Amino acid sequence: MHRIGTIPFDMKDDAVALLFVTSQTRGRWILPKGLAKKGETHVQTCERECFEEAGVKGVVMENFPLTVSISKQTEDGKQAVPVTYYPLLVMNQEDHWPEEETRERHWALMRDAPKVAFREDYLGLIKQFEALAPWITEAAKSHK
């Protein structure tokens, strides 16, 4: 089933960093994602999932959706699921969040992100984000 995710990021001068969290089943470095609840918009799902999994709040850059196939561990083994990710400019990082007991978080500069992320699923997504970064960061500047 289609999921909604976020690419939490922040920027300072020319540097852009992405925020990863560990997956609950395999401990891989991933980006927050989940199923939309009934009546939730994509933006609302992004905001909820990003806070629950990473403890951050921010501005969803809804003009830059990126849809990719991500592998999900299920009782029947690995399955591919489509996930639409939206960049989320992090405005606030909380010390405590709903899933802090089951997840770790890690900031990585965009140039280092391919070394951190679970490559099989996220390398293509990071490349797409990087290609759009000039426009995403320009749009994000109005919120800084």
Q: What pLDDT, on the 0 to 100 scale, is given for residue 105? A: 96
At CA 18, angle to CA 141 and CA 112, rounded to 5? Answer: 120
Are 65 and 85 spatial neighbours (Cβ–Cβ below 8 Å)? Answer: yes
Q: Which of 32, 82, 28 is nearest to 58 (CA)?
A: 32
- Whether 118 shows a pLDDT value over 80: the answer reads no
4 pLDDT tier (thresholds 50, 70, 90): very high
Residues of the chain with pLDDT > 70: what percent? 100
| For residue 119, pLDDT beyond 80 | no
Give the pLDDT confidence score for residue 74 in this predicted structure: 75
Pick the CATH number of 3-141 from 3.20.20.20, 3.40.190.80, 1.10.10.10, 3.90.79.10: 3.90.79.10
Bridge-based pairing state of the strands 56-60 and 66-74: unpaired
Per-residue confidence (pLDDT) for residue 70, from 0 to 100: 87
Does 144 have pLDDT greater than 90?
no
Phi, psi angles (nearest 5°) of residue 23 = -75, 155
Place of tokens 């490349």: 127
Report d(CA 97, CA 51) in Å as an integer.
7
Name the phi and psi angles at 65, rounded to 5.
-70, 140
H helices of the chain, in order, are 42-54, 113-116, 119-141
95 DSSP assignment: S
| 108 vs 78, higher pLDDT | 108
Which among 81, 90, 99, 87 has a CA at the least distance from the CA of 130?
A: 87
pTM equals 0.93
Question: Residue 65 has what pLDDT?
Answer: 97
pLDDT, residue 41, reads: 97
Strands (E), the chain: 3-12, 15-22, 29-30, 33-34, 56-60, 66-74, 77-93, 105-109
pLDDT single digits (tens) 21-65: 998 877 889 999 999 999 999 999 999 999 999 999 999 999 999
- Please provide the average confidence, as pLDDT, over all residues in the chain: 93
How much of the chain exceeds pLDDT 90, in percent?
Answer: 80
Per domain, the residue ranges of the chain are: 3-141
